[in-house]
Structure 1
Amino acid sequence: MADKCHLCLLGLIILSSLLTGTSGVDDAHVFISSGENVRLPCNNDLPDCTSTTWIYNRFSHSAPVELIGLGIENKDIESHDRLSLGSDCSLNIKNITKDDSGLYICQQYMNGQQQQTNDYFYLHVLHVSSSSSQTEISAGSSVTLYCQLYSYTGDSCDDWIPSEGIELFWVNQAGVKLTISDSRYQISAPGHCIITLTTTLLNEDDNREWRCEVTHRNQVKTSVTYTVKSSGEKMNEFHELL
């Protein structure tokens, strides 16, 4: 019980340090698009992973969950079939979803004592969705695309993202940033963590792409592309691509 309480306290201390702007945290940011796979490394100098524990926090206000305990996977969590421990003690997550965003901590134990070094990562997941639930959308119909960055801070991300230099953009298939001055599109950012694109679909929009990008200090970290397929007068919503 004491060990579990220590893990809870450690997670809260690390999360608090990020929110207060502790230096060196930037390297711990990992940006990925939903549907991708990710590998989170762990600094382990021992010959096996029986000393390795991975802890996860979904939100800043949620309790930490043990994903891997001393090299053993936790089978009681919903995502366990998408998790695996690498031979180097890294945490591998397949088919990332928006619910995988959060804080990940790798800890090492020797003789029951936690070591001082911890590896921690803040996983941010970029996800795009559409206002239409139809598989076919007629030309002339209006559609809104929602691009959202999911983070461990949850609803409070607006208080944190600006200070970290994180921005969301919509760009066209030529890579040109779309702005509110573009007559075809209505770009709206109701918060720092979400940006929407609304447009009326045209027949010539067949195979047209709109891409949402996330940048961290002016460097593109990941993106999600939305492609429209048309068949005559109908528009088919295609699967999100990277």
Structure 2
Amino acid sequence: MANKCHICLLGLIILCPLFTGINGVEETRVFCSFGEDVILPCNNALSDCNSTTWNYSRNRNSAAVELFAGGMKKYDIKRHERLSLGSNCSLNIDKATEEDHGHYTCLQYVNKQRHGNDARVLLHVLHIFPSSTQNEIRPGNSVTLSCQLYSHDGVSCDILDHTEGIQLFWVNQAGANLQTDSRYLISSSGHCNITLTTTLLNEDNNIEWRCQVNERNEVKTSASYTVKYLGPLDTPITPTQVIVIVVVIAALAVLIPAVVLSVICRKRAENRKGIDSSMVTYKDEYKGTYETINISIPTTPSANGQTDVVTYCEVTASSSKQMKKNNVHSYDKVTYATIR
């Protein structure tokens, strides 16, 4: 029993620096979700950031990498373009990724001498991974979402839960814990990972599920996943829609024959009107025409000085034809009035 107590005590001694820092210096925890901009405070900053140095290490056992020295950025690091110093010497990280999690230390140097206590920051990054491709996000298919909290390397979430009260939850848009809903299968692993598995329904389109991090029952950050279906959904037809469809079909069954009959009647009427018009034109052709033509030929002198005058004073031609049933009476009249 005594040996077990010694082992437990030894474990607490090893883990204690992870949460309280070295030399009694407390470590500030910062939580963010993947893709967010994050600010790490420098709690020991002096009035001038020229004395500020920022170091980074994935865990306490790995070698530290200088990000800033004397207020100047180090450009030989991979993510230098996403790092900058704030006005209060804070370290700003644009669009944080899982590679950014770990330990950060803000140090102050005056005349090349280390000044004051170090300010330590532990950055946690939350990220959701869909296990299915977009083409599989369809009603009736199963989907699994994995939520990972990147924190201490080698430290499980069980330890974080017992020592710091850090927990992961899957919640809906209203913030209700999905652990109590039988439709969802929630499982967790010891490496700060919690998964959600469910079968998609039609009404899940555009729905949002969130993975949430709580520290001692206080929400620190969350990452969301929104369901997006690619094409139109096969929605069931309701009884009301069936009634509407039947009424429309019945109305069309009455309306279409009426329209066709109306068109046929109009066409027949137009055909009869065309025949009557043709008959009138045929009658008018036999009423006769009358024309009057006045022609004169200029006089030309002859060899003995006399002139011959030829004048066609008037030529009138008339034509008149009459038709009565089967008997046809027709006559032409030509009148030559005067010729000199």
TM-score range, shorter chain: 0.7 to 0.9
Counterpart for residue 87 of structure 1: 87
Higher strand share: 1
Distance 2:143 2:174 in 1: 20
**SS at 1:226 equivalent:** strand
Larger radius of gyration: 2
Q: Given that residues 167 and 216 in structure 1 are in contact (C-alpha distance below 8 angstroms), is that contact kept between their aligned partners in structure 2?
A: yes
Q: 1:20 to 1:122 in 2, by over 3 A?
A: closer
Counterpart for residue 228 of structure 2: 229
Q: 1:124 to 1:20 in 2, by over 3 A?
A: closer
Distance 1:16 1:69 in 2: 30
Residue ranges of structure 1 left out of the alignment (5+ in a row):
1-14, 235-242
Counterpart for residue 37 of structure 2: 37
**How far is the alpha carbon of 1:228 from its aligned partner?**
0.7
Q: Given that residues 60 and 154 in structure 1 are in contact (C-alpha distance below 8 angstroms), is that contact kept between their aligned partners in structure 2?
A: no
Q: Given that residues 167 and 192 in structure 1 are in contact (C-alpha distance below 8 angstroms), is that contact kept between their aligned partners in structure 2?
A: no
Higher helix share: 2
Q: 1:213 to 1:85 in 2, by over 3 A?
A: same
Counterpart for residue 182 of structure 1: 181
**SS at 2:194 equivalent:** strand
Distance 1:166 1:39 in 2: 20
Provide the aligned length of Structure 1 versus Structure 2: 216
**How far is the alpha carbon of 1:157 from its aligned partner?**
2.7
Distance 1:25 1:118 in 2: 9
Counterpart for residue 301 of structure 2: none
Percent sequence identity over aligned pairs: 54
1:161 equivalent to 2:171? Answer no
Q: Given that residues 36 and 96 in structure 2 are in contact (C-alpha distance below 8 angstroms), is that contact kept between their aligned partners in structure 1?
A: yes
Larger mean Cα displacement after TM superposition, 209-218 or 61-70: 61-70
Q: Given that residues 41 and 89 in structure 1 are in contact (C-alpha distance below 8 angstroms), is that contact kept between their aligned partners in structure 2?
A: yes
Q: 1:140 to 1:155 in 2, by over 3 A?
A: farther
RMSD of aligned C-alpha atoms?
Answer: 2.2
User: How do residues 84-233 of structure 1 correspond to structure 2 at under 5 angstroms?
Assistant: 84-134=84-134, 137-151=137-151, 153-158=152-157, 160-162=159-161, 163-179=163-179, 181-191=180-190, 193-230=192-229, 231-233=231-233
Distance 1:201 1:226 in 2: 14
Runs of 4 or more consecutive aligned structure 1 residues displaced over 4 Å after TM superposition: 20-24
Residue ranges of structure 2 left out of the alignment (5+ in a row):
1-13, 235-340
**How far is the alpha carbon of 1:192 from its aligned partner?**
5.6
Distance 1:16 1:114 in 2: 27
**How far is the alpha carbon of 1:50 from its aligned partner?**
1.6
